[in-house]
């Protein structure tokens, strides 16, 4: 079995330790979407998204999904790929469109958006409401799931991350040596 360092070197998203709750909430929303859909293809795609979310803060190579929760009036979006993670929302009012990226990060260490728990919590609460109300969940698979490395880790990614964080308790972008 390969070690995580062989594949990832610096290929993880710059989540800070105190932001673990974001990953946990995202896991809950993806599980809720899986439970709420009856489309086999959507369930399959969401299972791959769940794999990528479960591996956070590490990336998942050969994967790029965009999950859209909602419709043209109001929607919430999750984008997760081998190099980018983003949560955003948007919609249309009359003929005017709007959109906002709540949180975005890349494996390069780039971060943008809010780490304010209020704003992030709002995204999760609104997405949960839409899922519970039965709105459409659409998943776009830009890479195809055939090339996903399903068995990269021998241990849970978060344990590897916690061990590394103990070397840099202030958080931020660090090496996993």
Kindly tell me if the per-residue pLDDT of 161 is higher than 90. no
Token pair of 33, please? 């979407």
Q: What percentage of the chain reaches a pLDDT higher than 90? A: 46
Alpha-helical (H) ranges within the chain are 4-8, 20-36, 40-55, 117-132, 157-165
Average pLDDT over residues 107-112: 91
Query: What whole-number distance in Å separates Cα of residue 7 and Cα of residue 125?
Result: 35
For residue 150, count CB atoms less than 10 angstroms from its CB and return exposed for 0-12, middle for 13-18, buried for 19 or more.
Answer: exposed
Kindly tell me if the per-residue pLDDT of 75 is higher than 90. yes
Which pLDDT score is estimated for 53?
93
Average pLDDT over residues 111-129: 89
């Amino acid at each position: 079995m390969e070690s995580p360092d062989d594949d990832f070197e610096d290929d993880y998203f710059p989540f800070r330790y105190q932001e673990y709750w974001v990953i946990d909430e995202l896991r809950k929303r993806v599980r809720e979407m899986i439970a709420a859909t009856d489309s086999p293809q959507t369930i399959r795609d969401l299972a791959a998204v769940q794999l990528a979310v479960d591996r956070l803060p590490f990336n998942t190579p050969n994967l790029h999904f965009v999950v859209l929760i909602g419709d043209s009036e109001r929607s919430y979006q999750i984008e997760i790929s081998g190099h980018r993670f983003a949560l955003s929302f948007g919609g249309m009012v009359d003929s005017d469109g709007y959109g906002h990226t709540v949180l975005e990060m890349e494996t390069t260490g780039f971060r943008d958006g809010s780490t304010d728990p209020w704003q992030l919590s709002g995204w999760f609460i609104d997405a949960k409401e839409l899922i519970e109300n039965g709105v459409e969940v659409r998943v776009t698979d830009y890479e195809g799931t055939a090339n996903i490395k399903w068995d990269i880790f021998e241990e849970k990614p978060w344990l590897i991350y916690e061990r590394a964080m103990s070397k840099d308790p202030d958080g931020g972008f660090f090496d996993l040596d």
